[in-house]
Structure 1
Amino acid sequence: MTPTVHDVARLAGVSIKTVSNVINGHPHVRASTRQRVQQAIAELGYTPNLTARNLRNGRTGVIALAVPDLSFSYFAELAGMVIARAEERGVVVLVEQTGGERERERELLRSPRLGLTDGLILSPLGLQASDLADRPRAYPAVLLGERVYDAAIDHVTMRNAEAAQAATAHLLAAGRRRIAVLGAHDDDGAAGLRLRGYRAALADAGIALDPELIVETRFWDRAGGADAVRGLLARGAGFDAVFGLNDTLALGAIRALQEAGRRVPDEVAVVGFDDLDEAEYAIPSLTTIDPGRRWIAQTAVDTLLARVADAAGPAGVVSAPFELRVRESAPAH
């Protein structure tokens, strides 16, 4: 016979309510109790009737995730992590691309399609604070990304400036003094915040900022990183390190340096930001910042589902922990 929630409760030696709490991912369950229930579920092969549960709760069991562009490795990997966490929590994810366009991001927050999902995780690029003013307050939403809005909405972000400062400080500690930064922009997004961290590390080391080493790129892709390095070399700019403001810029920079006969890391050390899967397997492997993407994905899903269940407190901003991954492209001194 098909196992029931009563069978799980009996085998685990807990109440039906405790089994329900474990299935629904409620945080206030002892780790040992959660483990017993999960073992009982696995042993019995129990599958929750999500359709019936959602009908009782007036929910769809579906959440939406909107990112700028899945062709960028960062967003593709982030989406995979969100989907994995959602599966653990028993919900399905619908994924949309916005192209980073403000109007599409605005439309998502007001679309009648919101009725098909229980909540939205949105990674905006063009959205403005004013766009959040008249969104449906009853619809749960969580924002990702660097720009923090002055609005009553949950936001899961990363420590861009601090992490970039740590990456630059790592290069300085290895004796590098002419550090080119690729992908820079003076704005309040990722580029501006990471540039701020770069500047702070130079200031702490007493090294003057050289505008010649700050390179803007149109796109944060391999071509942008390669072209930026080729431009530096063509201008005769002396540099002994490169900080790509994301991994794809850094990987493109390594390619251009190798083409020019510059040895990495002997002549030029390279650091990236994001810790994409391919960073570990590049030649040389890429030293980079892990900004806590898995933590961000899991926290975003958990926060959204707490809002859906009306079990969360006031909206707020949380920042992920980061870690410097030291590899071949910029080893420790």
Structure 2
Amino acid sequence: MAVTRLKDVAERAGVSIKTVSNVVRGNARVSEPTRQRVLKAIAELDYRPNASARHLRTGRSGVIALAVPELVQPYFAELAAAVIAAARERDVSVLIEDTGGDPAAELRVACGMSDPLIDGVLLSPQRLDQATLARRERRVPLVLLGERDYEVPADHVLIDNVMAAQEATAYLLACGRRRIAAVGFQADPLFTTSQQRARGYVKALESAGLRHEPELTPYVPAFTRADGMTAMRSLLALREPPDAVFCFSDLLASGVVRAAYDAGREVPGDIAVIGFDDVEETRYCVPSLSTVAPDKTQLANLAVEALLARVAGDPEAPHTTLHAPHRLVTRESTG
């Protein structure tokens, strides 16, 4: 049986091949009546895009991969949505990979082995160390996301975590809080996000003439609600509990607020709480959560643009580090 071609769909719908291509890719520039006509022709002819044929013809598939440690984490889910939207605007599709933070899985994606047809990879690594990444065998175009301190031949898109954490802590100080705890310290040096936010927290304290008190910075295994609750319980058990808490993620902050509520402490009356990430749930919880808001839309646009430029251009061109903006969002949890 003959394979249905893009041309066949175009003829059935009475449009150009380019219009059919735009509809298949989800391009918003096609009018709704035209889109419906093309979709009807696709259904009638049982047309299925052939990515392999396109790859052989052009050398590119129009597909990129995004790999994150945990897609169930709200921050990564929202980042993935932003990347998909940014890619769609550029007529590109996105393959999502959940690495589980496993270094072997992260390396596999970084080498482009998750799918031989992808044009390039956006990777948010969690445990993949610099030396291993630098030795990757297959040089598929790669853009790194997140706060890892890498010196490898790859473009890197991130926010200034040290500055953001310093601003969040300084805001709590400006609110009159003086015994400020931080929840999110991690002992593993590979967790660079934690290390950078810890540096910003300490810098803010030092700028205010306060010293870092280790008892106010309990270690956490991960950035989860449960870990935030456990950490807050230990802080509330201190002889002098904190009057504010800077959390290195909104999920940690959610657990911190719950532990305060269980202990009969008011937020923000007794304890002010600020998080990091500005995930959607922070706007609707009670109290609504103050937080550091990375510009996920801009981060996604910078990352996709950098990757597509690398795919289309010189793979040996100098690599760049791009910073997306962030802002402090104040809500009920800090008064």
Q: Where on the TM-score scale, by shorter chain, does this alignment land: which range? A: 0.7 to 0.9
1:297-332 per-residue CA deviation (whole Å, 9 max, x = no partner) reads: 12111111111112785211111111000100013x
Aligned to 2:194: 191
Q: Which residue type is aligned with residue 321 of structure 2? A: V
1:328 corresponds to: 332
CA distance in 1, matches of 2:14, 2:137: 41
Match of 1:286 in 2: 289
Matched with 2:182 is 181
Flag structure 1 segments of 5+ consecutive residues without an equivalent: 8-19, 25-37
Q: Secondary structure at the match of 1:219?
A: coil
Q: 5 Å matches for 1:1-333? A: 2-4=14-16, 41-42=30-31, 45=34, 56-110=57-111, 112-136=113-137, 138-185=139-186, 187=189, 189-310=192-313, 313-331=317-335
CA deviations 1:203-232 (Å, max 9, x no partner) are 111112211111111121111111111111
Q: CA deviation at 1:136?
A: 4.5
Q: TM-score, normalised by structure 1?
A: 0.83
SS of 2:149's equivalent in the other structure is coil
Which segment is superposed worse, 94-103 or 321-330?
94-103
1:228 counterpart SS class: helix
- Separation (CA, whole Å) in 2 of partners of 1:111 and 1:89: 21
1:111 shift after superposition? 5.2
> Contact 1:183–1:245 at 8 Å: present in 2 too?
yes
Shift of 1:108: 2.2
Distance, in Å, in 2 between the alignment partners of 1:303 and 1:74 is 21
Structure 1 residues 145-165: Cα deviation after superposition (integer angstroms, max 9, x where no partner): 101311121111111000000
SS in 1 for 2:333: coil
Q: 1:287 to 1:164 in 2, by over 3 A?
A: same
Partners of 1:159 and 1:291 within 8 A in 2: no
User: Separation in 2 of the partners of 1:289 and 1:155?
Assistant: 21
Q: Deviations over 1:27-58 (max 9, x none)?
A: xxxxxxxxxxx87x5488478x9968765422
Shift of 1:99: 1.3
Q: Distance in 2 between matches of 1:254 and 1:176?
A: 17
Percentage of pairs with the same residue = 46
Question: CA offsets per residue over residues 75-118 of structure 1, 9 Å max, x none?
Answer: 11111111121122212111111111212212223354442211
Indicate how the Cα distance of structure 1 residues 6 and 326 shifts in structure 2: closer, same or farther if over 3 A, else same. Answer: closer
Indicate the SS of the match to 1:329.
helix
Alpha-carbon spacing, 1:4–1:190, altered in 2? closer, same or farther (3 Å): same
Distance, in Å, in 1 between the alignment partners of 2:59 and 2:274 is 48
Q: TM-score, normalised by structure 2?
A: 0.83
Letter paired with 1:105? E
CA contact (8 A) 1:247 1:274 kept: yes
Q: Does the 8 Å contact 1:213/1:237 carry over to 2?
A: no
Unaligned stretches of 5+ in structure 2?
Answer: 1-12, 39-48
CA distance in 1, matches of 2:18, 2:90: 20
| SS of residue paired to 2:108 | helix
Tell me which amino acid in the other structure corresponds to 1:322.
H
- Kindly provide the amino acid, as one letter, of the partner of residue 328 in structure 1: E
The one-letter code matched in structure 2 to 1:229 is M
Against the structure 1 CA distance between its residues 224 and 110, is the aligned structure 2 distance closer, same or farther, given a 3 Å change threshold? same
Secondary structure of 1:93's aligned partner? strand
Q: In structure 2, what is the Cα distance between the partners aligned to 1:6 and 1:172?
A: 57
Pick closer, same or farther for the CA change 1:95–1:159 going to 2, 3 Å: same
Query: SS at 2:302's partner residue?
Result: helix
Amino acid at match of 1:117: I
CA contact (8 A) 1:62 1:117 kept: yes
Deviation track 1:157-201 (CA, whole Å, cap 9, x = no partner) reads 111000000000000000000011001135360101001000010
2-structure distance, mates of 1:101, 1:43: 43
Letter of the structure 2 residue corresponding to residue 315 of structure 1: H
Question: Shift in Å at residue 5 of structure 1?
Answer: 7.7
Residues 67 and 123 of structure 1 are in contact (CA less than 8 Å); yes or no, is this contact kept in structure 2? yes
Pairs aligned (count): 306
